Structure 1
Amino acid sequence: MEHEPLHPLISQKIHWQPDLSFRPFNYTAAPIIENMGGTAGTSSVVKPSPPAFVGAPMEKSSKASLIKELVALGLLKAVAAPFERVKLLLQNQKDIIKSGRLHKPYNGILHCFATTIRNEGIFSLWRGYTAMTMVHVSATVIRFGIFQYTKNLDDTQWSYTRVVVSSYVASAATQFLVYPFLYAATRMATDVKTIGSNTGDRQFNGMIDVFRKTLKSDGIVGLYRGFNITLGELVMMGALSKGLNPWKQHYSYILRNNFLSRHMVDFGFWISGNMATYPLDTVSRRMMMTSGSGTVKYKSTVHAIGQITKTEGVKTFYNGAGAEILACAAYNDTVLLIIYLAGVIRAAKGKSDNDSGSSSSFTIRWKDP
């Protein structure tokens, strides 16, 4: 510790910000995509959720690395999208039934998959993918802009408290900007074809149609239904990151020479954080369902929690949690596959690990404690 500078650059401090993020990111956070020539930072955050600040590009990153990150992010989101839609259908099935678009609840993950494919076709599993990708792309671009701005600041007076507060504010601001896309993704994913209808009509014809109908019926407020509970989720995620970090550091150190074991430990902490905050996500999504022509209207977040608990039981808050875990697993397995393929490609080209001069190659790594 005594060898560290008294006033590290804020661009260095960003790498150990509290790990704040959005629920839809919860299987997109662990890997950091960077140029081979990028400077590797360190992080003391755990991974129950993706970063709002910590995932910013490194000092030597460029627009090219940002584009690579966005492309890889889009690919990984496409892999997990079917599980994400099933999760949202299970999570919000009570409101879908009340709207008359579903006659009876799903019996589980497999039944939800089978019913959706049978009634809507296999490609319907990616319904809402575009809007959800817009959430992540927008947030990544915003993080990139914040990082570029903070690099040029005179940070000699930046205290730890100020950095922490700034990261929370940046996370909340980013969430505010991308929340309408998250709302649109949720409404599209839960918009099943009307069962028994001759035409199989949907409520929304696309992301623009979601915005148009919501603004017409509820105004701008309708696009931010459930936003306050999402802010609470951000705070809880940050607290979990700080609380679980010493344990993650301990096990990561013990398993420092075993990448796969470290990956499993990271995944375990990641899932633990997601499951701890999952009820808040359920409330947020259920609040979203009340905008527009929703049949259930909650007066407030407290009212929503009370009504759901009273009429459906506490276990309802974890509807779709199994699909969420599968989505995380699908994402992480894809990351491992990309890491392996990237290593094979580098080896085939005869490049050593110290070769950092290529501008066209990239690596995916886990942020170490």
Structure 2
Amino acid sequence: MTTEKPLPFVYQFAAGAVAGVSEILVMYPLDVVKTRVQLQTGKGVGEDAYNGMIDCFRKIIKNEGASRLYRGISAPILMEAPKRATKFAANDEWGKFYRTTFGVKEMNQSLSVLTGASAGATESFVVVPFELIKIRLQDKAQAHKYNGMIDCLQKTVRAEGVMTLYQGFESTAWRHILWNSGYFGCIFQVRALLPKAENKRQQIQNDLVSGAIGGTVGTILNTPMDVIKSRIQNSPRVPGGVPKYNWAWPALGTVFKEEGFSALYKGFAPKVLRLGPGGGILLVVFTGVMDFFRTMREGK
């Protein structure tokens, strides 16, 4: 992410962890709302249905209390550190690999997209079990079954088997490949178009702008797969049964056929409000922590 000399992996991992936890503490309620809207099939009718982001916020607070907006946060908190750390570290490592493989000294637009997609695929291996537990805790219809993250984990494994924790891996991989390729690809392009930062303040502004635009583009690209992922992971496995939502692309076709194209962008508003500004927060915090580590190492 930084144009300066890369630091060892442990520093990239730590900076990614700090950036990820910072982002989720600020933006998590939007993720709860996004999931609730995505899991709802058809039009929102009645007090238990949601007619968009604001209505979902209002009904959750009114009917369940404001604390419900942080329901299941323990799973993503535990996930965010390895997830974000893996994202940024993998992006740097894949970048080095591709530059060496293709004999390119500096990163370009095409390599940024390829590197981001590879980092997204790598990140998916880390996040799938955490995402499945989080989705089931966030869903209003299933939340009453579980007394927190550990209870949800135990009951899921007991009822459906340990491999269920990787249910939805394919759709998660597609979600992360699409988001990361858009995010890192846009960051490279936008940074090149912005005026060169003359001081720390301008660098932060540039990082906020490029990160927010990258997060927005990534969200536009990956929201359909995010909808599919939420539905696949929220479908309990029944022995001998065939789930309605199973593989990513067939499930995409099912949602499109039954609910129309707009259903593939359910939850887009809270998702883009989280991942647009959230992408900026991620980049600023990550860059700031990396600069701190670099200064600390140089001061030895």
> Would the TM-score normalized by the shorter structure come out above 0.5?
yes
2:138 aligned partner: 189
Q: Which amino acid aligns with 2:228?
A: V
Matches within 5 A, 1:174-253: 174-191=123-140, 202-237=144-179, 239-240=181-182, 244=186, 247-252=189-194
Paired with 2:211 and 2:90, the residues of 1 have a C-alpha distance of 27
User: Are residue 269 (structure 1) and residue 214 (structure 2) matched?
Assistant: yes
Decide whether aligned partners of structure 1 residues 130 and 242 sit closer, same or farther in structure 2, where only a CA change above 3 A counts.
closer
Cα-to-partner distance string for 1:238-295 (whole Å, 9 max, x where unaligned) = 554686567425422x464555366335422330221122111111111111125799
1:59 aligned partner: 7
- From 63, 86, 91, the equivalent of 1:119 is 63
Paired with 2:89 and 2:211, the residues of 1 have a C-alpha distance of 28
2:21 aligned partner: 74
Deviation at 1:86, TM superposition (A): 0.7
Matches within 5 A, 1:16-27: none
Deviation at 1:215, TM superposition (A): 2.1
Q: Which has the larger radius of gyration?
A: 1
- From 83, 106, 114, the equivalent of 1:139 is 83
Paired with 2:181 and 2:115, the residues of 1 have a C-alpha distance of 15
CA contact (8 A) 1:183 1:288 kept: yes
User: Are residue 86 (structure 1) and residue 33 (structure 2) matched?
Assistant: yes
- From 245, 261, 269, the equivalent of 1:298 is 245
Decide whether aligned partners of structure 1 residues 235 and 107 sit closer, same or farther in structure 2, where only a CA change above 3 A counts.
closer
CA contact (8 A) 1:225 1:284 kept: no
Deviation at 1:338, TM superposition (A): 7.6
Decide whether aligned partners of structure 1 residues 327 and 177 sit closer, same or farther in structure 2, where only a CA change above 3 A counts.
closer
User: Are residue 285 (structure 1) and residue 230 (structure 2) matched?
Assistant: yes
Deviation at 1:83, TM superposition (A): 1.0
CA contact (8 A) 1:214 1:292 kept: no
Q: Which has the higher contact order (CA 8 A, sep 6+)?
A: 1
Decide whether aligned partners of structure 1 residues 218 and 277 sit closer, same or farther in structure 2, where only a CA change above 3 A counts.
same
Cα-to-partner distance string for 1:182-206 (whole Å, 9 max, x where unaligned) = 111111112358xxxxxxx702222
Decide whether aligned partners of structure 1 residues 241 and 189 sit closer, same or farther in structure 2, where only a CA change above 3 A counts.
closer
CA contact (8 A) 2:172 2:226 kept: yes
Paired with 1:246 and 1:143, the residues of 2 have a C-alpha distance of 16
User: Are residue 108 (structure 1) and residue 29 (structure 2) matched?
Assistant: no
Q: TM-score, normalised by structure 1?
A: 0.59
Deviation at 1:85, TM superposition (A): 0.7
CA contact (8 A) 1:229 1:301 kept: yes
Paired with 1:132 and 1:192, the residues of 2 have a C-alpha distance of 20
Paired with 1:189 and 1:283, the residues of 2 have a C-alpha distance of 16
Cα-to-partner distance string for 1:299-327 (whole Å, 9 max, x where unaligned) = 53343222212221110111111111222
Q: Give the number of equivalent residue pairs.
A: 278
Give 3-state SS (helix, strand or coil) of 1:159's partner: helix
Give 3-state SS (helix, strand or coil) of 1:94's partner: coil
Q: Which amino acid aligns with 2:80?
A: H
Q: TM-score, normalised by structure 2?
A: 0.71
Paired with 1:238 and 1:144, the residues of 2 have a C-alpha distance of 10
CA contact (8 A) 2:175 2:222 kept: yes
Deviation at 1:217, TM superposition (A): 3.0
- From 101, 109, 116, the equivalent of 1:159 is 101
Give 3-state SS (helix, strand or coil) of 1:106's partner: coil
Paired with 2:87 and 2:283, the residues of 1 have a C-alpha distance of 24
Q: Which amino acid aligns with 1:205?
A: N
**Structure 2 portions without partners, runs of 5+:** none
Deviation at 1:336, TM superposition (A): 9.9
Paired with 1:126 and 1:307, the residues of 2 have a C-alpha distance of 31
2:3 aligned partner: 41
User: Are residue 331 (structure 1) and residue 293 (structure 2) matched?
Assistant: no
**Structure 1 portions without partners, runs of 5+:** 1-14, 16-39, 43-56, 194-200, 343-352, 362-369
CA contact (8 A) 2:133 2:152 kept: yes
Decide whether aligned partners of structure 1 residues 269 and 243 sit closer, same or farther in structure 2, where only a CA change above 3 A counts.
closer
Give 3-state SS (helix, strand or coil) of 2:23's partner: helix
- From 247, 261, 281, the equivalent of 1:314 is 261
Decide whether aligned partners of structure 1 residues 331 and 314 sit closer, same or farther in structure 2, where only a CA change above 3 A counts.
same
Q: Which amino acid aligns with 1:116?
A: I
